[in-house]
A and B are shown apart, each in its own frame.
Chain A
Amino acid sequence: EAQLLQSGGGLIQPGGSLRLSCTASGFIFSSYIVSWVRQAPGKGLEWVATVSSSGDSTYYADSVKGRFTVSRDNSEKILYLRMNSLRAEDTAVYYCAKSEYSFGSYNWFDPWGQGSLVTVSS
Chain B
Amino acid sequence: QSVLTQPPSVSGAPGQRVTISCTGSSSNIGAGYAVHWYQHLPGKAPKLLIYADTNRPSGVPDRFSGSRSGTSASLAITGLQADDEADYSCQSYDTSLSGYVFGIGTKVTVL
Contact = CB atoms under 8 A, between A and B. Distances in A.
Contact of B103 (A35, A44, A107): A44
A45 interface: yes
A69 to B, nearest CB: 16
A110 interface: yes
A105 B34 contact: yes
A63 B31 CA distance: 24
A68 to B, nearest CB: 13
B51 interface: yes
Contacts of A112: 45-47
Given A59-B98, A108-B48, A113-B45, A45 B36 contact: no
A47 B102 contact: yes
Q: At the interface, is chain A mostly helix, strand, loop or mixed?
A: loop
Interface centre among A35, A109, A115 (most CB of B within 10 A): A109
Contacts, number: 66
B46 A107 contact: no
A115 B44 CA distance: 8
Interface residues of A, number: 25
Given A106-B34, A106-B52, A108-B91, A45 B105 contact: yes
Interface in B58-104: 89, 91, 93, 95, 97-104
A60 B100 CA distance: 10
Given A47-B99, A107-B93, A95 B46 contact: yes
A-B pairs with the 5 shortest C-beta distances? Answer: A44-B104, A108-B36, A47-B100, A110-B48, A112-B45
Interface of B: 2, 33-34, 36, 38, 40, 44-48, 51-52, 57, 89, 91, 93, 95, 97-105
Given A59-B98, A110-B48, A112-B46, 20 more contacts: A37-B100, A43-B104, A44-B2, A44-B89, A45-B89, A46-B102, A47-B99, A50-B100, A60-B99, A62-B97, A106-B33, A108-B34, A108-B36, A108-B91, A109-B91, A111-B45, A112-B45, A112-B47, A113-B45, A114-B44
